[in-house]
Amino acid sequence: MACPDQPGRDCPLCPRLVAFRERQRAAHADWHNAPVPSFGGADARLLIVGLAPGLQGANRTGRPFTGDWAGDLLYETLIGFGFAAGTYDERPDDGLVLLDTRITNAVRCVPPENKPTTEEIATCRGFLAATIAAMPKLRAVVTLGKIGHDSAVRALGLKPSRVPFSHGGVHALGAVTLFSSYHCSRYNTNTGVLTPQMFRAVFAAVRRHLDGA
């Protein structure tokens, strides 16, 4: 059964994603192949919002950013700035824990070619808004990529045109400050759009903000 901030395993809301999910279940019966739940406690002060589960990453493992290159960079960075502890070993039972941090996605199901439609993003936004509403101590949101950024802004009740996306952007939105970054995808890092140093700079700013709160 779905809860307000998490769709059920067989969520029917997006027909194209349902059909893709069923094909993946038939091909890979041992994979997660379902909406990927948020990782980390609702009492965290930091929420990280990605795009959607990767086909062979979170869709396979059932934990956000686990099992693909984006997770390598993300979790290394989180450990480095004290937002996670343990060892990231690309599987959900590696013992890694998040500290004062929660990770979710704008779209909870894997989309074909990693490209959700505008309608699918809007449909899933209710779960993102509920995730935000369930975090009473929330003080910072990091958005990874423009799609995650715009959906998070809308989930916060604002218009993206008032809170434009830019790498390294910082927006004070009342009790919550929003930090934006290019997505830590393999494509972005391989092409030099995002370097590890650029990514770390975003989380250094988040660390300073929370430490000064």
Distance CA 95, CA 97 (A): 6
* Global confidence as pTM: 0.96
| Length of the chain counted residue by residue | 213
Query: In the predicted model, is pLDDT for residue 1 greater than 70?
Result: no
Query: In the predicted model, is pLDDT for residue 58 greater than 70?
Result: yes
pLDDT, the chain, mean: 96
Strand order in the sheet with 46-50: 101-105, 46-50, 140-144, 176-181, 170-173
Residues 6+ apart with CB under 8 A from 205: 168, 170, 179
| Sign of the alpha-carbon torsion through 196, 197, 198, 203 | positive
pLDDT digits (tens, 9 = 90+) for 143-195: 999 999 999 999 999 999 999 999 999 999 999 999 999 999 999 999 999 99
How confident is the model at residue 4, as a pLDDT?
A: 85
Query: In the predicted model, is pLDDT for residue 213 greater than 70?
Result: no
Domains, the chain: 15-212 (3.40.470.10)
- DSSP H or E segment with residue 135: none
User: Quick one: average pLDDT of 200-206?
Assistant: 98
Q: What are the C-alpha distances in Å from 62 to residues 33, 58, 211?
A: 8, 5, 31
